[in-house]
Structures are given as structure tokens and as C-alpha cells.
């Protein structure tokens, strides 16, 4: 079974986010594999351990993303592909076009990725890649079984569990609870340094600037305004009701 995992490197969720001049400061920040993508890597490895095959992790981003790909290789993935050409960096539209182009002419049975990235929460790339490759997709999987070319997926939906069957090839986005990602051992980290990592540019992909142009533009990033302190009303009940009505009607203008 040939499995591709779409992987994004994101801020460590324990890092403090600092914003200057409308941009997130990345200096000195620790980056990790997007936690939802870790579930995808782990699931792909478990499936190939059971059925055989190969796991390829694919990412689009700057050179620092190699660290995340090497971590996935240390977990047990077989090889990696990194598109590190700045011409391929854009919004979810651009990333999806690049990832689909990387995979399109390679044999695959299954594509896995996180249900969203924790840095932007867009949850678009998996769906877009499936659409571009003209294959079905199932979102937010918490259980995945494959038998005789058919996948049975349990997915979260409004607090309930839906059970869906779909034939391969298929794209599945992974949700917390699907598995428990393994920690790579030191020997596997050493082995991962020698596993193949293919680097691609826009020239290798035979893509042109117009088809990579993003469809959206981020105008700025701002922190949430600090929450105003609470206020305790004084006096007897009648006075408190009168004061509350005044606050809601005249000060806050919500009634």
C-alpha cells in the first residue's frame, strides 16, 4: 500500500505567540509537526506495518521544515518530499495545487493529513487536494480500517459518530483520538538522517506563476484585545436590577 501523508510544520503549541507590525515573530520559536498531522503519520505507519507498503511524507515550506520531515522519518515513514521554492508558498489554494502536483503522477492508494493545522485552523488543504486529484475524501476520522481495497472510517459529526465506507484511492483527514503517535527512538533518529528526502522546485513541478498565485491575502495579524475586568453590582436587589438595566441599555446598548 502506497500512502502519502501531507505534513505541515507549525509552532509548538506551548510557544508564546508574539506579534510585531502585524506579523508573527518566528525568531527563536520551536517548530514541530502539526499535531493533527502526527496522527496521520502514525496511522500511515501502522497501516504499512499491517499490510506492507511505503509511507511518503510531503510538505511545502522553507528549509527548516526538513526537521519535521526527519522526525516523521524517524517515526517510521520511508521517504520524504519537500517543496522549498518560495514561488510555491502562498495560501491554502497554492499549497493544495503544489501538493496535488507532487502526488498526481506517483502511485498511491491512500492520502492522510490532519483535519486542520493548529496555526491557522483553515482545514482546507486536505479537501482541496482530494478535489484536485478527483478522489473521494472523508474528514475528521477517529478510526480507520482497510479491507480488500475498501476503507471503513468512523468520523466525528456534531458529537456523534458516523461510519462511512469508501473505496481506495481515498483521502482521509485525521482527528485527535485516531491513535497515539509514537516517540521516535534515538536509533531511529539516526537512521532517519540517511532516509531519502527529495527536494523540489517550481521548475521540477513544471508549474507556472499564474497557477500558483494565491486567491487570498492576509492583511495583518492582531492579538485578541484584553478582556475587561468584571464588575460587581452593589446595593440591595432593587438597586442592582436598576443598575444592571442602566448598564445594558445606556452603557452597553445591548437591549
Split at pLDDT 50, 70, 90, the class of 167 is very high
Domain check: are 183 and 232 in the same one?
no
Would you say residue 108 has pLDDT above 90? Answer: yes
Is 57 inside a domain boundary?
A: yes
Convert 130-143 into a string of H (helix), E (strand) and C (coil): HHHCCCCEEEEEEE
Is 150 inside a domain boundary?
A: yes
Domain check: are 132 and 239 in the same one?
no
Give the Cα separation of 143 and 52 in Å (integer).
19
| Predicted TM-score (pTM) of this structure | 0.85
Is 211 inside a domain boundary?
A: no
Q: What is the extent of the structural domain holding 108?
A: 2-205
Q: For 113-118, what is the mean pLDDT? A: 92
Question: What is the per-residue pLDDT for 253?
Answer: 81
Question: What is the per-residue pLDDT for 12?
Answer: 85
Task: Give SS3 for 122.
Answer: coil
Rounded (10°) CA dihedral 237, 242, 245, 249:
-170
Question: What is the per-residue pLDDT for 214?
Answer: 87
Question: What is the per-residue pLDDT for 152?
Answer: 97
Domain check: are 189 and 113 in the same one?
yes
Split at pLDDT 50, 70, 90, the class of 139 is very high
Q: For 69-97, what is the mean pLDDT? A: 94
Amino acid at each position: 500500500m502506497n500512502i502519502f501523508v501531507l505534513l505541515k510544520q507549525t509552532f509548538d503549541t506551548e510557544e508564546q505567540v508574539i506579534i510585531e507590525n502585524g506579523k508573527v515573530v518566528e525568531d527563536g520559536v520551536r517548530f514541530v509537526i502539526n499535531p493533527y498531522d502526527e496522527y496521520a503519520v502514525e496511522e500511515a505507519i501502522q497501516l504499512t506495518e499491517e499490510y506492507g507498503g511505503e509511507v511518503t511524507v510531503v510538505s511545502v515550506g522553507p528549509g527548516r521544515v526538513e526537521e519535521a520531515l526527519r522526525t516523521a522519518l524517524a517515526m517510521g515513514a520511508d521517504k520524504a518530499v519537500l517543496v522549498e521554492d518560495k514561488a510555491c508558498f502562498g495560501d491554502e489554494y497554492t499549497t493544495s495545487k503544489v501538493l496535488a502536483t507532487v502526488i498526481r503522477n506517483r502511485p498511491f492508494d491512500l492520502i492522510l493529513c490532519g483535519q486542520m493545522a493548529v496555526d491557522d485552523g483553515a482545514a482546507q488543504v486536505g479537501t482541496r487536494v482530494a478535489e484536485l486529484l478527483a478522489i473521494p475524501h472523508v474528514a475528521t476520522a477517529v478510526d480507520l480500517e482497510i479491507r480488500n481495497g475498501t476503507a471503513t472510517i468512523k468520523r466525528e459529526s456534531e458529537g456523534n459518530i458516523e461510519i462511512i465506507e469508501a473505496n481506495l484511492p481515498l483521502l482521509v483527514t485525521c482527528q485527535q483520538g485516531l491513535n497515539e503517535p509514537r516517540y521516535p527512538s534515538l536509533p531511529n533518529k539516526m537512521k532517519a538522517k540517511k532516509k531519502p528526502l527529495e527536494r523540489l522546485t517550481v521548475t521540477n513541478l513544471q508549474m507556472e506563476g499564474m497557477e500558483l498565485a494565491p486567491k487570498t491575502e492576509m492583511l495583518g495579524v492582531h492579538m485578541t484585545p484584553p478582556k475587561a475586568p468584571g464588575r460587581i453590582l452593589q446595593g440591595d436587589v432593587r438597586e442592582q436590577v436598576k443598575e444592571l438595566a442602566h448598564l445594558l441599555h445606556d452603557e452597553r446598548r445591548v437591549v
